[in-house]
Structure 1
Amino acid sequence: MMNRTIVLETERLELARWNEGDRALAFALWGDHEVAKWISGKGFLSEDEVEARLTQQIQRQKEAGVQYWPLFEKESEVFVGCCGLRPYSTEEDIYELEFHLTRDHWGKGYAQEAARAVIGYAFDKMNVKALFAGHHPDNEVSRHILIKLGFEYTGDERYEPTGKMHPSYVLRK
């Protein structure tokens, strides 16, 4: 893959690192209203907000050694979304797992496949104690994926970007 730092691989996917040249990929994902409605209270992200998200991911990799790594199909090198971690509770050594897929890659099992690799990385390589995850209250697909991955429902938490109470889950090592 051209000029990409590969972080993890699965059977069908490569998880790489975001870089400054990835604006078009960031817009293809977070600029899509069907994707953004699950992560933004107003149902979309502006150009500036997508730009800020990309910058935040690059910065997080530098500072914390993790980000929501971009996903690419191994065969075609097509961008399919992102999956990764961010520090959630530093005093308890808990990270948050997230995945966002481009609309044309929904329903192919990529979120679960990438999440399994990221979970393995978090527990085996980073030695984190637990992972947190949440989802938009109307997103049944994400709920189903988290349950299949072994996450346990812990209650609802207010998620500032949407202003809604999001179901929350924990997976312990």
Structure 2
Amino acid sequence: MREFFLTTDRLGFSVWNENDTFDALELWGNPEVTKFIVADGKMLEEQVHQRLKNEIETYNNAKIQYWPIYLIETHENIGCCGLRPYDSKKNILEMGIHLKDKYWGKGFAQEACLAVIDYAFNTLQVDALFSGHNPKNTASARLLKKLGFTYTHDEFYPPTGLYHPSYLMTKQDYMDKKAEVNEI
């Protein structure tokens, strides 16, 4: 049974470990998931193993990662959502999410991202969050805007070889969005 360090109504966040190869392959080995993440749209098994290793190393070094997320009810892995270092001098982390395609369109991405945003600002005390998306990924663009991120620029992303629309959410943006929600 997995332990969760963060939960929402439906989701539990855990930490990747060496025993998570099956979940990692099911997620990043799926071309529907990776079509916007890497240049050729597919990750080879060796690349998935390296991605898992990188997530574990990021956690060991920075205590953050794109954490695996599970349905609380069934403990089934649905993908990952989390943080990685971005600009330590300005206290900015990068937020991202990768969901298995059968969980798209069910509100899980927004639910997971909101939990990570709260965690980043309230627990980790970051000053801002960065996020970007493949220019062809319109669903991610809609999600980031709905979450309250503001477009700032296009940034080159080496894994895809493309310039990705990039967004920022400052702590003040977060506080304003939270106040707006509480007024409703």
Q: What TM-score does the superposition give when structure 2 sets the normalisation length? A: 0.91
Structure 1 residues 41-73: Cα deviation after superposition (integer angstroms, max 9, x where no partner):
011011111000001111111110100000100
| The one of 48, 71, 74 aligned to 2:72 | 74
3-state DSSP class of the match of 2:90?
coil
**How far apart are residue 7 of structure 1 and its match?**
2.0
Q: How does 1:10-89 map to 2 (within 5 A)?
A: 10-89=8-87
Distance 2:109 2:51 in 1: 19
Size of the alignment, in residue pairs?
A: 171
Q: How does 1:121-132 map to 2 (within 5 A)?
A: 121-132=119-130
Q: Please tell me the root mean square deviation across aligned C-alpha atoms, in Å.
A: 0.7
Runs of 5+ unmatched residues, structure 1: none
Identity of aligned residues (%): 49
Find the counterpart in structure 2 of residue 8 from structure 1.
6
Look at both structures and tell me which one has the larger radius of gyration over its CA atoms. Answer: 2
3-state DSSP class of the match of 2:89?
coil
Ranges of 4+ aligned residues in structure 1 off by more than 2 Å: none
In proportion to residue count, which structure has more helix? 2
3-state DSSP class of the match of 2:80?
strand
Structure 1 residues 66-116: Cα deviation after superposition (integer angstroms, max 9, x where no partner):
000001001111110000000101111100000000011111111110100
Find the counterpart in structure 1 of residue 174 from structure 2.
none
Q: What TM-score does the superposition give when structure 1 sets the normalisation length? A: 0.97
Paired AA for residue 128 in structure 1: V
